[in-house]
Chains A and B, each alone.
Chain A
Amino acid sequence: MPSPTSAYSDFERFRATFFEECAEILPDLDGRLSALQAGDSDTETLNAIFRAVHSIKAGAAAFDFSALVEFAHVFEGLLDRLRDNRIQHSAQVFNVVVRAGDVLAELVEAARTGSDVPPGFGAGVAAELKDLFSGAQAAGAPPPKAHQPKPEAEGPMRTYRIAFEPHRELFRHANEPLLLIRELKRLGELSVGCVSADLPDLAHLDPEDAYLSFIFELQTQAPYASVAEVFEFVDQDCVLKIEDGGARDDTQSAAAAPDGGEAEPESGEAHPPSSRPAAATPVSKGATSIRVDLTRVDRLVNMVGELVITHAMLAQQLSDHGGGQRQQWAQGSQELATHTRELQECVMAIRMQPVRSVFARMPRLVRDIAAKLGRNVRLVTSGDQTEVDKTIIEELADPITHMIRNAIDHGIEDGATRLAAGKPERATIELSAAQRAGNILITIADDGAGIDRRKVLQHAIAKGLVREDAKLSDDELYNLIFAPGFSTAEKVTEVSGRGVGMDVVRRNIANLGGRIQINSAPGKGTRFTLVIPLTLAVLDGMLVAVGNEKYILPLANIVESIRPDHRQVRTITGGSQVVAVRGEFIRLVPVRRIFNIPGAIPEPWKALVVVVETENGSKAGLVVDELIGQQQVVVKSLAEYTAPVPGISGATILGNGRVALILDVEGICSMPDPSAFVEAPGDFQRQAGSSPDLQTVKPEIPGRPEAPALQNINAAA
């Protein structure tokens, strides 16, 4: 194995680039291998797989990751034959290829972390690869040589006679006798004779043909190999004869030892690689992309946000001091708003990336876990070109991984059970991504056994999370899954660790400003939906007033607004109200009661009902005092100071400098109405959406809330 020269350490700086590249190549390769296993073995797939392994090998060799290089070399060899159809395609062959892909990924990871793989790791697979290659590669394939063998040591002065007779096509390769002559001159004293016998007359001369031959006499101390090397690129395009004229041991040798006496292939015009650091970022003409520091993009995003706020303030002041110029000002203001919106969209687009990079890792995960647990599972993904802010992408991988693990571990039944239930033996997990109303929805759905209500309840009682006689709604029950320390795993499986990491998952999603929804049907399956707001800094909103407070309602959620007649409003059992709209009954959400806002109009028929639509398509009617006007607002996060405030998704600064809160439509619609459902004290009652710790909360007294005395459930009993 060639020992790394100092030149290799020059390349150390590219290590990071190499591993970044591997991080892109490997998931893609994985996808291709999955396709291969699924029966998709066309040339394009095989070529892509080959190129992936080829790239990894080339980079690895530059950094001398010998285990990786050796394996990749063997792998590449087989793939080359496969893609040329020199080896028969078969399920068995593809199986080896897929396993080799896994080994390769492990070796890359080991190289990246600098850790060792167990001796003999991958040897089995490598042996299979070699077998399939029909033994053409010797066992323990020789590691690739980094460069041509070094010229032998110099000897005494010799004379070489070289007859060089190029074929006509020499020039087609942009090779030129002049260059050869130059190279020869570097080796020693050269005399050149030209043979022009073949040169035709001008009329028949093709300037692109080579007609001239040469006789060289070279006096040099360089060995034969060095002389031959000069012609290495043209040796197929000429008739070449190199004669060693023997050593010259007369005194002429001393005199004939000019600067060319040493074999110095690097002398002359080539500047030796200097230690001068290479130019800054690898940006070059014609490159289709550039790398930009993420902090610069963040600044850009913030600046655009500030621009929107400033515009809002200007617009406010303009309307305050409107005058004869009103129309032009309004028009200018409108145009500014449009341009700002466009700018904002462009800037946000810079940071957006398709979720594909996260989704691509999942098929392998599913394969691994399913294999370990003896389940037959396939993963179906969709919407992987959905784009998400880069900062969110990285945070998604862990939660999705966790939930898929859980689905396979806990949700999916074994083959026999499934068949007995009339389900296909192979289970399906659907992973999808979509953008809806300013949010990213990531869904993980399985067709397994669903969440076992009884089991969850029993377990929660056993863990002391819930009282024995508590009556829980489905939602409350599912949310128990997120409580820390909750786990229904009877045994700690190697796969899921402590069974569930769902409290961590929930927290991770909450940190992104999102939430998790659960739907489950016993026997049918379970669906988790992650709802994460796009970090779209600017939002189209409707400013509404409720009592003395003002809120922003995202325009995307608004269906219509109505001023109902008191006959349209009905009260149903439990105390909540609905409004009849064109035959539909829409549940009323009394914002003033839920938020405890003094001075708001209590009766819906004297106030305004804004009909909104939530993510799952259901409608609700928010009762507000009035609509003030439409506004573009910059979303500022509240999350820095505490866990999210239920019903509020963020805040913004209005044109008059005051802070206005942005309503979380989904959230507020799922918050309990404090005056409804007044049940016997001691019953389990919890505010939706806040801390995953389950605690009792004293029933709200209309008016200013007192500082609630929060106690742990255990103590409450």
Chain B
Amino acid sequence: METQTAMTIALAANTPAAAGVQAAGVKQYISFKIGSEEYAIDIMAVREIKGWTETTVLPNQPEYILGVMNLRGTIVPVFDLRCRFGMGLTGASRSHVVIIVAVLDRIVGLLVDAVSDILTIDGSEIRAVPDMDRAVSAKFLSGIVSVNETMVVLLALEQLFAQHAGGGPVQETIQPQSLQ
């Protein structure tokens, strides 16, 4: 994305186009970059895309939880995806982007480097994730797809934000594996 001003995408799931798209086993995704990797998430989960603003730190939380931000009156936690994937902290700045998603009844923000595109992908094109050499634990990935000769990894948001029985985010360390 070139311009990084706060931007809201009106995600009209009920537009005829979208409806037609859903009906055919085809789904739309929003793709984004972290470093040199491309990831994508279901467009239905995405509520808003914002430019980065400063977050208020939550004490004693894992590093990948940057803090909380004010989204027009709602308090939204922001996750540094790069850090969550074990690739170190993003040095967030105004040029970075926060994707606001709704997952498991909650609203959370995902800090990424940039949003790339809206992809339309047919289910049949999605391949399973090979179980090695990935930066991110396969548990959080729901598939992999090739778009214009780029490998785009589809994220399973529910897995990423799954809760322990007792509450609290999954405190699993994601072992950084060799980067691709």
Residues of A within 8 A of B (CB): 306, 309, 484, 503, 507, 510, 549, 594-597, 636-638, 640-643, 645-648, 651, 653, 657-661, 687, 690-693, 700, 704-710
Contacts and interface: CB of A to CB of B under 8 A. Distances in A.
Contacts, number: 94
Given A658-B70, A659-B70, A707-B63, A484 B166 contact: yes
A707 B174 CA distance: 10
Interface in B42-86: 54-64, 67-70, 73-75, 77
A402 B108 CA distance: 35
B12 interface: no
Contact of B167 (A309, A595, A642, A646): A642
Given A594-B59, A651-B68, A692-B166, A638 B75 contact: yes
Contacts of B108: 641
The 4 closest A-B pairs by CB, nearest first: A643-B167, A595-B59, A691-B166, A659-B56
A642 B77 CA distance: 10
B60 A595 contact: yes
A659 B53 CA distance: 11
A653 B164 contact: no
A659 B165 contact: no
A552 to B, nearest CB: 11
A592 B1 CA distance: 38
A640 B166 contact: no
A708 B61 CA distance: 9
Nearest to B79: A641
B164 A651 contact: no
B173 A510 contact: no
A660 B105 CA distance: 23
Contacts of B56: 549, 651, 658-661
A704 B173 CA distance: 17
B20 to A, nearest CB: 34
B106 A507 contact: no
A690 B58 CA distance: 14
B130 to A, nearest CB: 26
A645 B165 contact: no
A647 B58 CA distance: 10
Contacts of A692: 166
Contacts of B61: 645
Contacts of A648: 58-59
B98 to A, nearest CB: 14
Nearest to B56: A659
B173 A709 contact: yes
B63 A641 contact: no
B168 A704 contact: no
Given A645-B58, A653-B70, 17 more contacts: A484-B165, A503-B166, A507-B167, A510-B167, A594-B59, A594-B60, A596-B59, A597-B57, A638-B58, A638-B68, A642-B168, A646-B60, A653-B73, A657-B70, A659-B56, A687-B60, A693-B166
B90 to A, nearest CB: 14
B35 interface: no
Nearest to B55: A659
Nearest to B165: A484
Contacts of B173: 707, 709
Interface in B97-120: 105-108
Given A653-B73, A708-B171, A710-B171, A645 B59 contact: yes
A167 to B, nearest CB: 74
A657 B108 CA distance: 18
B169 interface: yes
B166 A641 contact: no
A595 B57 CA distance: 10
22 contacts: A484-B165, A484-B166, A549-B57, A596-B59, A596-B60, A637-B75, A638-B68, A641-B77, A641-B108, A647-B60, A648-B58, A651-B75, A653-B70, A653-B73, A660-B56, A661-B59, A691-B167, A692-B166, A693-B166, A705-B62, A707-B62, A710-B171
A645 B60 contact: yes
Contact of A707 (B54, B64, B74, B106): B64
Interface centre among B59, B64, B68, B70 (most CB of A within 10 A): B59
Contacts of A643: 166-168
Contacts of B73: 306, 309, 653
A189 to B, nearest CB: 71
A640 B163 CA distance: 11
Contacts of B68: 638, 651, 659, 661
Contacts of A659: 55-56, 67-70, 75
A198 B68 CA distance: 94
A596 B62 CA distance: 12
A327 to B, nearest CB: 31
A60 B85 CA distance: 63
Contacts of A503: 166
Nearest to A591: B59
Contacts of A709: 173
Nearest to B105: A640
A638 B64 CA distance: 17
Interface centre among A645, A648, A706 (most CB of B within 10 A): A645
A404 B24 CA distance: 57
Nearest to B173: A709
Nearest to B84: A707
A512 to B, nearest CB: 13
Interface in B154-180: 163-169, 171, 173
A653 B165 CA distance: 30
A250 to B, nearest CB: 80
Interface in B140-156: none
A705 B60 contact: yes
Contact of A640 (B54, B62, B106): B106
Contacts of A641: 77, 106, 108
Nearest to A657: B70
A709 B171 CA distance: 8
A661 B69 CA distance: 11
A417 B168 CA distance: 44
